[in-house]
Amino acid sequence: MFVTKKETTILEQQVKELMAVEFGKVPKMENFHTSDWFNENYYKRHILECLLRIHMNNEMDSRAVAIATQSNTALAKMLSYYVYDELGHDEMFARDLDQYGYTATDIQLSSVFSSTMKLMGYLNFVVEKEGPMVAVVWDWFLEFYGDEYNPFITEKAAANMGQAKVDGAAAHVAFDEEEDHSGMMTDMLGTCIKNDADFIKAQKYLSVLIPLVGEYFNELQREVL
């Protein structure tokens, strides 16, 4: 297998460096991820966006599975299981949003930020034009991000709002840890990164995707604070 601990470490370091660049551009993004700064409205709107993006991400991954069935059965099987595991995660966040006053209708009628449309539009376009690797790289990043930041963010929210207000988010963190989604996605990288050219392409995807994440946090800051 081409993807070993060495390649994974290189990708993780790239993510950390790219995130640091975005932290420098968007101060509240850095504060949210690394300091004791907390704003309740900012957090609640972020949780709503997470739920809405889960729906979009599952649709994108499902399309990636369909394309993978044509040429990479191993990837199609692994990614389809990941989608199966992810289905219903929105309900965890919906439990918290219910406590924040959002009804199911409110959530259904909510629109994602334009930055999220741009991010998901890029992912869907590249899946169609270049294949499913970009979906795997993105999902791998999401799981790495989740391990790196979500426990801290959720604990901070609990300290400021009370544990009952973050039970859904906490359940999501626990589920990902129990199911070892990070390990699952690292294994999946090996089904689509098979040589140096593929690895370079994965790095290129990260160099595009993480600045788009920064755009989301910049829009969140502008709209809420």
Which domains, from first to last, does the chain contain? 5-224 (1.20.910.10)
Q: How many residues appear in the chain?
A: 225
Query: Which pTM was predicted?
Result: 0.96
Mean of pLDDT over the chain: 96
Measured between alpha carbons, how far is 44 from 96 in angstroms, rounded to an integer? 9
Residue 112 corresponds to which tokens in the numbers above? 């994602």
Q: Can you read off the two tokens belonging to residue 110?
A: 């909510």
pLDDT of residue 89: 86
**Number of other CB atoms surrounding residue 127 within 10 Å:** 21
- What's the rounded Cα separation, in Å, for the pair 67 and 205? 18
| pLDDT tens string 78-87 | 999 999 988 9
Interval 29-71: pLDDT, tens? 999 999 999 999 999 999 999 999 999 999 999 999 999 999 9
CA distance 93 to 52: 10
Q: Are 220 and 45 in contact (CB under 8 A)?
A: yes
The whole-number pLDDT of residue 167 equals 96
Contact 11, 204 (CB under 8 A): no
List pLDDT tens digits, range 90-111: 999 999 999 999 999 999 999 9
- The C-alpha atoms of residue 204 and residue 189 are separated, in whole angstroms, by 14
